[in-house]
Amino acid sequence: MSSNQTYSSATPYAWVLFDADETLFYFDAFEGLTLMFAGFGVEFTQADFEEYQRVNKPLWVAYQDGNISAAELQTVRFEPWSAKLNVSPQILNSAFLTAMAEICAPLPGARELLSALHGKAKLGIITNGFTELQTVRLQRTGLQHHFDILVISEKVGIAKPDVGIFEHALELMGRPAREQVLMVGDNPHSDIQGGINAGIHTCWYNVHGHAAPAGITPHYQVSSHQELQQILGL
155-194 pLDDT per residue, tens? 999 999 999 999 999 999 999 999 999 999 999 999 999 9
> In terms of domains, do 179 and 155 share one?
yes
CA nearest neighbour of 156 among 190, 127, 177: 127
Q: Are 150 and 72 members of one domain? A: no
- 58-67, 127-136, 200-209: least confidently modelled range: 127-136
Residues 138 and 187 in one domain: yes
Domain end position, chosen among 102, 135, 158: 102
214 domain-assigned: yes
My answer on whether 119 and 189 are in the same domain is: yes
Does residue 5 surpass a pLDDT of 50? Answer: no
pLDDT surpasses 90 at 6 = no
User: Of these residues, 19, 21, 162, 191, which one is catalytic?
Assistant: 19
CA distances from 79 to 62, 83, 88, 198, 214 (A): 17, 6, 8, 35, 35
Residues 80 and 126 in one domain: no
Asked about 19 being catalytic, the answer comes back as yes
Pairing type for strands 220-222 and 181-185 reads: unpaired
Q: The CATH number of the domain where 53 resides is what?
A: 1.10.150
Could you tell me what percent of the chain has a pLDDT over 70?
96
Q: How would residue 10 be classed by pLDDT, with cut points 50, 70 and 90?
A: low
**pLDDT at position 4, please?**
31
Work out how many domains the chain is built from and give that number: 2
Q: Which of 126, 124, 129 is nearest to 101 (CA)?
A: 129
Per-residue model confidence (pLDDT) at position 3: 32
Based on the domain organization, do 49 and 138 belong to the same domain?
no
Least trusted range by pLDDT, from 41-50, 130-139, 154-163: 130-139
**Phi and psi at residue 169, in whole multiples of 5°?**
-65, -45
Task: Please tell me whether residues 135 and 166 are part of one structural domain.
Answer: yes
Q: What is the mean pLDDT of the chain?
A: 92
CA gap 111, 146 in Å, rounded: 10
Query: Same domain for 156 and 65?
Result: no
More confident residue, 114 or 7: 114
The lowest-confidence range among 9-13, 42-46, 79-83, 193-197 is 9-13
Q: Is residue 188 part of a domain?
A: yes
For residue 15, which of 219, 178, 197, 171 has the smallest C-alpha distance?
178
Dihedral, 73, 75, 81, 82 alpha carbons, nearest 10: -170
Residue 100: the pLDDT is 92
Domain that holds residue 48: 29-102
Indicate whether 212 pLDDT > 50: yes
CB 173 within 8 A of CB 3: yes
